Every structure is written in structure tokens, then in C-alpha cells.
Amino acid sequence: MARFTLPRDLYHGKGALEALKTFEGKKAMVCVGGGSMKKFGFLDKTVNYLKEAGMEVELFEGIEPDPSVDTVMKGAEAMLKFGPDWIVAIGGGSPIDAAKAMWIKYEYPDITFEDMCKVFGIPSLRRKARFCAISSTSGTATEVTAFSIITDYNKGIKYPIADFEITPDVAIVDPELAETMPKKLVAHTGMDAITHAVEAYVSTAHCSYTDPLALHAIKMIQNDLVDSYNGDMEKRAQMHDAQCLAGMAFSNALLGIVHSMAHKTGAAFADKGAHIIHGAANAMYLPKVIAFNAKNPEAAARYAEIADFMKLGGNTAEEKIKLLIAYLRKMNDDLNIPHCIKNYGADSYPADQGFVPEEVFLERLHDIAVNAIGDACTGSNPRQPSVEEMEKLLKCCYYDTEVDF
């Protein structure tokens, strides 16, 4: 038996934020990140709509990119003091992911972070509060997923929390919020979205309910991402829907080792001055993982189906897969994303020498590989790598060399 779970309600299209006026409750805690939602007026709108619905509202602000365990604990403590019956998270993936984890701790104050990270092991929520997610970026799709990514900075590791319990009750996908994204964020979130769709389509947990969502999302991203990056706001609105469809697919079909590797490399070199931004990591690793997974016949056939759906040409499965890899690499070029860790600059742009020195990468390689194998996303990858193979694959992602194993 399989399960397919989505938010009960999804409000989409321009002006969808006004759905907050219809919510019924007494208290709402609004969780938000840096300053963009406040700067562009969306935070004020959110608060005012909730007050119009008759609720007392409190803010938890300043959730950082790549939210930490400490932030989660502080937010849960604030919720315990305030006692909301609605948790409303607005912004990119970070505040929504953080708020999901806070929600668990709010409902179960004695739960540990380690217990929260047990895959599909969260106890029943909604005893105290319901959850609404409002996305401002077009990539993570956390507004419709059963996942949250939280970083333990003491260990330099990102941990996925995975459970259908944390699927939001309400998702609001309003393209007006996505219009505020800076260009670099459009690139990174867009490549995160196509990675979600591709990994969902070849995942061992894919099914007839997830496949159409994944394929349609891929087609939309092919049509819309680069133009959205270059300032076309109609395409930006299309991308906001496309990433949500990709999220619906992967939340139910799960992901693969592109995400395992991105989770375990993202904060692994923070002491060297920068993170490898999640969407950029996915963009760099996806072509390499396709080449690795394509040694599995079933995965190869499904990658070829994606290439056919994108009308990339080719006569054999091998030709189609090469064209798919080449297309994705060209997208990285069009979006000014580097092809490998070696050339990943501190500002996320291509550089002759990136911020991760070769000797540091090699020194940490084995531990990163072990952690990636243990990531929650590895189990649904179509080809299960050994630690040795994961090390070789990570090296290909560092040096941009061919995957021939």
C-alpha cells in the first residue's frame, strides 16, 4: 500500500494571500525570515488579514537561511508561551522548514531533535495548531511537502525531517510574492525544482499519481525558468506553479542521492567561509547523478522518457540521456551556476578557484560520503551506491569529471 498526501487546501494565483481572511482561530504565530517579506509589504498584509479574521497575531522573525536547531528550539519556546492555534510561515524554504520543526516541538515539548529526524516517525500533530505555508520562492515547494531541512551547525550537517504529519494544512501559492526574488535566487530555486521533478520521476517510490506531476513540472520549467531568470514576470508566475507541482510529486515519490549529497555538502565547508547553496548544489550534482543512475536499466529508461517529453531528440536511450545531461548543463550556464565544487565561488558564482580547497575536500570526503549514504533521500534512489562509489561520485562533482562507473 502506498500513500499520496497533499495540503487540504491550496490557494493559488494573484491575490491568493487574501485567503487568510477566511481562517478560523484565536491566535496565529507568523514565522518569517530576513526582511524581504516586510520590505515588500507582504508581512503586513499577512498580519492584517489574520487580524481581519479575528485572530491575535504574534511574530517570530529573523529565521536565518539554512535554519539551525537552535532557531527551531527558540521558535518552539515562543509558541509554547503564546499558544497559537494557527502557525503561519511566510517566505522561502527556510522559514517554512523551520516553522514545521517548531510545530513538532510545540506539540510535543519533550521530543528531541534526534527523534524528530526519525524518518516517518513523528507522532500525530494538530492537537494544538494547524499549519499554513506561504511560499515566496519558486523551488523548495515546502508549502506542499512532508519535508523540512534543518542544519546542525555543530556537526556541519543538514538533516531532513520527513513525515506526512508536517505536510501543511493550507498552502498559499501567490505569484506576487515570487516577483520579489533576486535573480540569483530565481536560478537556484528553479534548479532545485527541476531536480525535485527529475528525482521524483526516477525514484523507486514513483507511481501513477506522481509521474504526471513530475513530467508536467519538468516541461514547465524547461519553458519558463530561463526567461523568468531574465525578468519575464509571466514566466515567473508559471515557475511558481511549476515548482509546486514538482513538490507534490517528490513529497509522495521521494527523492534521491542528488539531495543526499546536497544535504551533506551544504554546510560541510562553512568554516571555509561559505555554504554551498542548496539549489546550486543540486544543479551541479544532477548531471553527474543521472550518469551514475543510468547504469540502472529502469532508471535509464525513465531518464530517456524525460528527454522524449522535453523533445530533446536522440534515437537510443544512451543518446537521449546524454542530451538530457547536456541540456541541464546548458541551463546551469544560462543561469550562471558553476558545474562543480572546485569552481564554486564564495558568492555562488563560477570562479577559477572556489572557496573549498582541494585538500580540505579530500580530507572530509569519506565522512561526507558516509553521511550522504545515511541521508533519508538515499533509500529511494534507483541505484544504491556503496561508500566507495559515493566518494567517487563526489569527486566527479568536485572536479567536473565524467562518471564512468
* Sign of the CA dihedral with 166 first, then 170, 173, and 177 last: negative
For 395, the 3-state DSSP assignment is helix
pLDDT for the residue numbered 37: 95
At residue 35, the pLDDT reads 86
C-alpha cell at 151: 542544519
Residue 126 and residue 242: Cα distance in Å, rounded? Answer: 29
- d(C-alpha 226, C-alpha 99), whole Å: 31
pLDDT per residue of the chain (405 residues) written in tens, 0 to 9 = 999 999 999 999 999 999 999 999 999 999 999 889 999 999 999 999 999 999 999 999 999 998 999 999 999 999 999 999 999 999 999 999 999 999 999 999 999 999 999 989 999 999 999 999 999 999 999 999 999 999 998 888 888 899 999 999 999 999 999 999 999 999 999 999 999 999 999 999 999 999 999 999 999 999 999 999 999 999 999 999 999 999 999 999 999 999 999 999 999 998 988 899 999 999 999 999 999 999 999 999 999 999 999 999 999 999 999 999 999 999 999 999 999 999 999 889 999 999 999 999 999 999 999 999 999 999 999 999 999 999 999 999 999 999 999
**Three-state helix/strand/coil letters over 323-367:** HHHHHHHHHHHHCCCCCCHHHECCCCCECCCCCCCHHHHHHHHHH
Please count the residues of the chain.
405
DSSP bridge pairs for 150? 159
Residue 157 has a pLDDT of: 85
Main-chain phi, psi angles of 161, to 5 degrees:
-95, 125
> Is the Cβ–Cβ distance between 47 and 88 less than 8 Å?
no
> CB under 8 Å to 293, separation ≥6 — which residues?
202, 256, 257, 299, 300, 303, 381, 382, 383
Residue 159's SS3 state is strand
pLDDT at 180: 93
- pLDDT attached to residue 273: 83
Q: Are 27 and 85 in contact (CB under 8 A)?
A: yes
Q: How far apart are CA 393 and CA 289, in angstroms?
A: 8
Q: Which three cell numbers stand for residue 148?
A: 523540512
> Three-state secondary structure along 172-233?
EECHHHHCCCCHHHHHHHHHHHHHHHHHHHHCCCCCCCCHHHHHHHHHHHHHHHHHHHCCCH
Q: Which three cell numbers stand for residue 377?
A: 533521500
Grid cell for residue 49: 488579514
Question: Which residues in 251-331 belong to E strands, given as ranges?
Answer: none
- Enumerate the β-bridge partners of residue 404: none
Backbone angles phi, psi at 159, to 5 degrees: -115, 125
Q: What are the two backbone dihedrals, phi and then psi, of residue 106, each rounded to the nearest 5 degrees?
A: -65, -45
By three-state DSSP, how is residue 70 classified?
Answer: helix
User: Would you state the cell numbers that stand for residue 204, as one nine-digit string?
Assistant: 523507486
Long-range CB contacts (< 8 A, 24+ apart) of 42-50? 42/17, 42/90, 42/136, 42/176, 42/177, 42/180, 43/90, 45/17, 46/17, 46/20, 46/88, 46/90, 46/134, 49/17, 49/18, 49/20, 49/21, 50/20, 50/23, 50/86, 50/88
pLDDT at residue number 156? 83
What whole-number distance in Å separates Cα of residue 101 and Cα of residue 360? Answer: 32
Place of cell 481562517: 23
